[in-house]
Amino acid sequence: MGWFNDMGEKIKRGLRSWLQIMPSSPYNIQIQELADFELSAIRNRIWYRGDGNELEQMYRQCQEYADKYKFWASRCTPGMEMRKIHTGLPALMIKTLASITLADMNDFDFDREVQRQTWQEIEEENHFRKMMDEALRDVLVVGDGVFRIIMDTEESEHPIIEWIPGERVEYVYRYGRLKEIVIKTPYRDGHVLYAHYGKGYIRHELFKGDQLSDIKTFPETQGISDWSFDKELMLATPIKIYENSKYPGRGGSIFDGKIDSFDALDEAWSQWMDALRAGRAKTYIPEAFMPKDPENGLTLTPNTFDNRFIAGDADMGENARNEITVAQPAIPHDSYLASYVTALDLCLQGIISPSTLGIDVKKLDNAEAQREKEKTTLYTRAAIVEALQEQLPLLIEACINAEHVLRREALEEVKVTIPFGEYANPSFESQIETLAKARPGVAMMSIEAQVEELYGDSKDEEWKQEEIGRLKAEQGVMEMDDPSMGAAAMDLAGGLQNEGQGDKPPVRDEPAGISEAAKDSGGAGAIRDLRSGKE
């Protein structure tokens, strides 16, 4: 028995040795970050500006950052230069998204009328609608930004709203919550003012390089002072649409991941245009027919741009004729168009539809297919609207409470909603056609639901109720109050109750609502017949 146990232990030890799994060696992957958030913001802003000269300068100055094989970073061989063209697509995308979003932003709804009047005064003073257009464009390009509130009674009796783009802002988080916003303002000679906005305070620091300087000794900042107020109030509100995947706590630009696609689109378009220039018709002229300078008789040199004529050898053969011939190479337009459309699709994927930009790249698409493509624009617009509806009320509350601080009043809670109208897709005509199909036969939608679906926030409630009434009147549907017999019904109920009590004959008073004419015509008799159960 002991021998059997020893054999079992040996088998177990053998199995353990045989099944032993060695852990994998850890791998160390090091990736060098070539750009910080500020450099990425500057790169996106240059793409938004849409100047090809600036793009080429940026990529040539940032050799360690830029891929040397990118189109805008490449250099042409001397003597074989080509024209580099920027399509301007990034700027067009940003402007279109901002316009289709802010055009439908309606008036803000407040719970209290006093707050609405206060915000209206602040809004008119700061031209907030125009400022919001600039802010939304910067947020989409850079990734984020901050609205800061300035209280300067010498400039305005109301709080002043100023927009600061994201490349001049830093955020301080604690446990994932925003605790402080640092706004950087550059001055001459390398001086930078750091304004720290926190809950209940505004603190300023002036640096020259890495050295702290005295604010009072610098002329541009000697009038700036620190502030302290209620700890529940922060006079700066950040705005961002997307989260940044590379820099935690920062906003994401819609250009993230699309820069290489923009570069490829510019290359495809530039090559196409270069092929068109190289494929111009060339005229070969015998030397005897070459145009001469009328002053000295020398042969004119052809223009390198057009190459309208090229000298050819004179034909000296028997029965030969010196003829002018024209040659033009075949340009593969279909191949260039396919490359351009593919590059364009990569640039727009997940952001905006080509039909929103007015681009018709598929000639065979019908109206329904075009509307389906508009869903990409709707998704992006919905993300922008959701972010604005969540973050702008914080700015409005801070502005109204800053007004209370100036007036030395107590802070208050501000409840405001920001309604947005429906994006014009599908078209009004197609909506009418679709909703009309829900009424014939079995009615699947009420008139109220159809009016609400068709007009949404574009019309107020009073107008929509009037429209519902007009539609019902045209269809013969009339709304009336519930019928009531009034005092006659009360007398009838009382008489029936008296008839069931004892032997005393019930009191049959005349109904108060019966006129003398009704009595003469038998109206009262009809009521008595009704009480007795007779028709």
User: CA 505, CA 302: separation in Å to the nearest integer?
Assistant: 129
**pLDDT greater at residue 491 or residue 508:** 491
Q: Which helix (H) or strand (E) holds 203?
A: strand 201-208
pTM above 0.75, yes or no: no
Average pLDDT, the chain: 79
- Could you tell me which residues come within 8 angstroms of residue 150 by beta carbon, excluding any fewer than 6 positions away? 159, 160, 161, 162, 235
307, pLDDT greater than 50:
yes
Cα–chain-centroid distance for residue 408? Answer: 38
Q: What is the dihedral of CA 53, 57, 60, 62, to 10 degrees?
A: -140
User: CA 477, CA 473: separation in Å to the nearest integer?
Assistant: 6
Per-residue pLDDT reduced to its tens digit, 167-210: 999 999 999 899 999 999 999 888 999 999 999 999 999 998 88
Taking alpha carbons only, the member of 509, 506, 507, 505 closest to residue 524 is 509
Q: In the predicted model, what is the mean pLDDT of residues 224-249?
A: 90
Taking alpha carbons only, the member of 423, 422, 420 closest to residue 385 is 420
User: CA 351, CA 380: separation in Å to the nearest integer?
Assistant: 6
pLDDT of the residue at 75: 85
pLDDT of the residue at 204: 92
pLDDT of the residue at 327: 74
Confidence band, pLDDT 50/70/90 cuts, at residue 520: very low
User: CA 259, CA 266: separation in Å to the nearest integer?
Assistant: 11
Confidence band, pLDDT 50/70/90 cuts, at residue 424: low
C-alpha distances out from residue 420 to 13, 76, 220, 458, Å: 73, 50, 42, 9
pLDDT of the residue at 333: 87
Question: Do 331 and 271 contact (CB within 8 A), yes or no?
Answer: no
For residue 241, count other CB atoms closer than 10 A to its CB: 22
Q: What is the dihedral of CA 77, 82, 86, 87, to 10 degrees?
A: -140
User: CA 192, CA 209: separation in Å to the nearest integer?
Assistant: 8
Amino acid letter, 437: K
User: CA 179, CA 190: separation in Å to the nearest integer?
Assistant: 28
φ/ψ of 198, rounded to 5, equals -130, -175
- Could you tell me which residues come within 8 angstroms of residue 71 by beta carbon, excluding any fewer than 6 positions away? 84, 263, 264, 266, 267, 270
C-alpha distances out from residue 278 to 10, 238, 304, Å: 84, 51, 11
Confidence band, pLDDT 50/70/90 cuts, at residue 531: very low
pLDDT of the residue at 509: 47
Per-residue pLDDT reduced to its tens digit, 324-355: 677 777 888 889 999 999 999 999 998 998 88
**Token pair listed for 290:** 């070459």
316, pLDDT greater than 60:
no
96, pLDDT greater than 90:
yes
Per-residue pLDDT reduced to its tens digit, 442-490: 566 788 887 887 777 667 788 888 888 888 888 777 665 555 555 555 5
Per DSSP, what are the bridge partners of residue 186?
A: 192
Polymer length of the chain? 535
Per-residue pLDDT reduced to its tens digit, 356-394: 888 875 654 566 666 666 788 889 999 999 999 999 999
Confidence band, pLDDT 50/70/90 cuts, at residue 398: very high
Confidence band, pLDDT 50/70/90 cuts, at residue 86: very high
- Could you tell me which residues come within 8 angstroms of residue 308 by beta carbon, excluding any fewer than 6 positions away? 282, 283, 302
